[in-house]
Structure 1
């Protein structure tokens, strides 16, 4: 794989960041620049950390470090979703439930990928490590 864009976790994170971005622009004006900005930042940081880690994949520790950053940004995004929903700044329960479920799933996928990288580091295709 020559690009992180082939990773399922990247595809999911990137798609969710687009969904959250669009959702955030519908928030009440007083939230648009506060919590809206925070959730846009954290949701986009999930895929950005995957990209940055993949770029450092020749170094196992750095790769895992950025994947861990990605997972923590995923968890932060869930916290922002919860706060927006609980404060009634975001009231679409169906969309909230859908996004929350997707972020929980993504967090689990990232965790599994971290575990896989940790266990299978020596089994990466040689062109992946020695580029």
Structure 2
């Protein structure tokens, strides 16, 4: 199977996956957390999950800068890790509020996305050296 060329940040698989995942987190996980988490876990999970596709998009715009793209990819990877920890906390602290299987799927997706971001950063660094 031949991959289509990357013409926009929207063509990046990692962008597509993290964008869709942020929608699931915001519509199916965050609303089910108790109100007592409004200024903590809800807020943190909302910010980190939404930040990932935004950072990928912003980094893509700076892809011609030697360090620009790499910095945003590293930041997106950090947000991915933060989202995983928050999802694990949701699952472990609030098992009665949160769909455990959905949480597991999201953790797996963010873990996979983190690996994609790492490889994208490495590939970009190697490509820019040539």
Same fold (TM over 0.5): yes
Q: Partner of 1:48 in structure 2?
A: 54
2:32 alignment partner, SS class: coil
1:57 alignment partner, SS class: coil
Tell me, yes or no, if the aligned pair for 1:71 and 1:111 is still in contact at 8 Å. yes
Q: Does 1:2 align with 2:11?
A: no
Q: Does 1:115 align with 2:129?
A: no
> What is the CA–CA distance in structure 2 between the aligned matches of 1:77 and 1:60, rounded to whole Å?
27
When the two structures are superposed, what TM-score results if normalisation uses the length of structure 2?
Answer: 0.87
Tell me, yes or no, if the aligned pair for 2:9 and 2:60 is still in contact at 8 Å. yes
When the two structures are superposed, what TM-score results if normalisation uses the length of structure 1?
Answer: 0.87
Gaps of 5+ in 1: 124-131
> What is the CA–CA distance in structure 2 between the aligned matches of 1:65 and 1:56, rounded to whole Å?
10
Tell me, yes or no, if the aligned pair for 1:67 and 1:114 is still in contact at 8 Å. yes
Q: Partner of 2:16 in structure 1?
A: 11
CA RMSD in angstroms, aligned pairs only: 1.5
What do residues 73-108 of structure 1 show as CA deviations (whole Å, max 9, x unaligned)?
Answer: 000000111111121264322111111111110000
Gaps of 5+ in 2: 1-5
Structure 1 consecutive aligned stretches of length 4 or more whose deviation exceeds 4 Å: none
Q: Partner of 2:31 in structure 1?
A: 25
